[in-house]
Structure 1
Amino acid sequence: MLHPLHFGFLAFLTTSRFVGLTVADAGDVSLCGQSDWWNSTDVPYSFNNNAWGNDSSGYQCLSTHDGGRSFSVAYKWTGDASLVKGYPYMKAHPTGLPVQLWNVTQLQITGNWQTYVTGKEQASADEQAIAFNDVSLYANVAVDMFLSDSRENSTMVGAPIEIMIWPWWTPTVKPLGWAESTPDKDTVTIDGTPFSLYHGWNDGGQHVFSWLARTNLTQTDADYGPLLEYIWKKGMLSGALWLGQLELGTEIKHAAGDMHFEASNYTLKVIRQGDPEDKTSTTST
């Protein structure tokens, strides 16, 4: 997946709003422009509506709440379901980033999220599945990371390597490399949930690695560092690569009805060797 509307980490520290940003209730901000973004000073995250594949077939608005302590996305896209319309996301401030893969000791991901057809937030899982089918929903929840062999380039648009984690996804979407990968062999269990690895190249030439949960999750509080470690220890990527960007959002391809995504109680944090939170005593060579 290529995100041409991502911004380098210096950019979002220089300003906190674009034209088109709307401030609603105290602590709430709505982002409805294609590349509208906002930087929170209450929590260590920025937010981007990032409707980078906008084909004029629908809409997408990201709203932050309580100073960025939670966010939601309202959307509807009826265009070609094979194409991504947007990846609205929150992005971790660059504390501790960039960092080389072999110096990551933990990747702490915590959060709750929910995707539902508008008006059906109380529906059962089976009812939700029927509703998703009725609107032809193509979407996931994804943690997104960008890497490069250049420290500086890892923080910029166009970093050549992407690692994704999909804790939730509809069966209508498939990762790059779906047919060519070996997920039965490349599986790592995180907090009781198996994640299987797929990898391939997108149209922008990025090498994309995608870890898919075997069972959909709507909440997590775990260390996902073993997924990064697996990739470089198996020789799929060099451990010397720089990880420069860390995000959480929902990737949307299609929804013929009005949809709602919400996320709360989240933490996105890389812990490096030598950090106070580092639970290991190993050093890289």
Structure 2
Amino acid sequence: MVFGIGLLVNAVLVAIPVGGSVGALLGIDAHRAATGQKPLFTGGNNDDGIGTGTGGDSTGGGGGHDTITNNGVQHTQYCELSYGITPPSKTEQYTLNPNQWGVKEDTTGNGLCMNITTLVNQTYAPQTAPEFSITWQFDPGPQTAPVHGYPNIRVDDVLPKEMNKISQVDLDLHWTYGLGDTPAESTDVQTLKNENLATNVAIDMFLDADADKSKSASEAKFEVMVWFWMSNEEAQPLGWGKPGITRTLDGTTFTLYTGKNEQGQYVLSWVPETITERFTGDIYPLITDLYNFGGSDYPAKEDYLGSLSFGTEVYSVDKNVTFWAEQYKIDIKS
């Protein structure tokens, strides 16, 4: 896989004369990519079985993306900085996004691409999301801004919801991280450590007393995270070094860390003792524990859960790595 930061150069370029026109068009496309817009070069179909999705595809992302279709299954790649992809589904609705919010003009590295596997017949198991993976490589950013993005999948339709009207948040999860451009069967922690991988894998939620604000990552009063791995201390949560209470779910012990971010939001992070690639169980007790504390530093049970996403926070790594969400099923029950 060859990919660059925020810019896909399509094979259709071979039909354009080399010279000033190409340079001008590439400059425009680079600017569009840098601002999170779709590339100008969307291409067409060729005869090798690979189409670029012109006119839309089963990912719901429209045209302009490399798509392979085989036996009713589509594999589509997105390398934009920010691009919402909502695969059509006859059951639950999810939106995926490369979400490279920390990439700047002076960012160096190979970049990031999101690969989504969808079903042409749009029929998924109940509450089950499309399979997806993230291949990326960034060099370390400045200490003041080390994060390059949080590519993720977000639950649609069912939120916001008052927390006292939620009874369970059932999660069935399997993910891996591996070296290279393809998904790994399991995570080799030592190999990734040797390549200086700095990342975490987490569910990210936003809560607020106001239903509209609870849907906003910038306006919500509280951010609650459930982590499943922290590769090293560079990717640590706010409040690291000052552990709070612990809670064991599905055989995994989580420790609570708390702090305030630069926006003044209260960030409450549950972090496991060890890497947790598989998890099956109800994570709602991690939320009820918080509102049982009481006080303004913690959400109240009358507050709204407005947003819930799952993904990986990407910092830096020496070589290409791939995060794979092989199974992600979440059921928010009333």
Fold shared per TM-score above 0.5: yes
**Whose RCO is larger (CA < 8 A, sep 6+)?**
1
In structure 2, the residue matched to 1:222 is 281
Aligned-pair CA distance for 1:80: 2.0
Equivalent position of 1:206 in the other structure: 265
* TM-score, normalised by the number of residues in structure 2: 0.70
The Cα of 1:119 is off from its aligned counterpart by 6.6
SS at match of 1:140: strand
* RMSD of aligned Cα (Å): 2.3
- Listed as ranges, the matches of 1:107-126 within 5 Å are 107-118=169-180
Residue 245 of structure 1 is matched in structure 2 by: 307
Structure-2 residue corresponding to 1:63:
115
Q: Deviations over 1:106-130 (max 9, x none)?
A: 11111210001117966876xx233
Q: Is the 8 A contact 1:113 1:264 kept in 2?
A: yes
CA deviations on 1:40-92 (whole Å, 9 max, x unpaired) are 11252110000000132221111110246200000001032741111111111
2:322 equivalent to 1:260 = yes
Q: Hey, what does 2:48 align to over in structure 1? A: none
Q: Contact 2:206/2:224 (CA < 8 Å) preserved in 1?
A: yes
- Within 2, Cα distance between the matches of 1:119 and 1:60? 11
- For the 8 Å contact 2:207–2:304, the answer to whether it is kept is yes
Pick aligned residue for 2:96 from 41, 47, 50: 47
Query: Structure 2 regions of 5+ residues with no counterpart?
Result: 1-35, 37-58, 120-128
TM-score, length of structure 1 as denominator length: 0.81
Superposed, 1:53-202 pairs within 5 Å as 53-55=102-104, 56-58=107-109, 59-67=111-119, 69-80=130-141, 82=143, 83-95=146-158, 97-118=159-180, 128-158=188-218, 159-172=220-233, 173-179=235-241, 181-183=242-244, 186-202=245-261
- AA in 2 matched with 1:260: T
Post-superposition shift, 1:29? 2.2
- 1:223 Cα shift? 0.3
1:139, CA displacement in angstroms? 0.7
Quick one: which of 18, 22, 32 aligns to 2:79?
32
Tell me which amino acid in the other structure corresponds to 2:205: M
1:282 counterpart residue number: none
Unaligned runs of 5+ in 1: 6-14, 273-285
- Return the structure number with greater strand share: 1
Give the match for residue 17 of structure 1.
Answer: 61
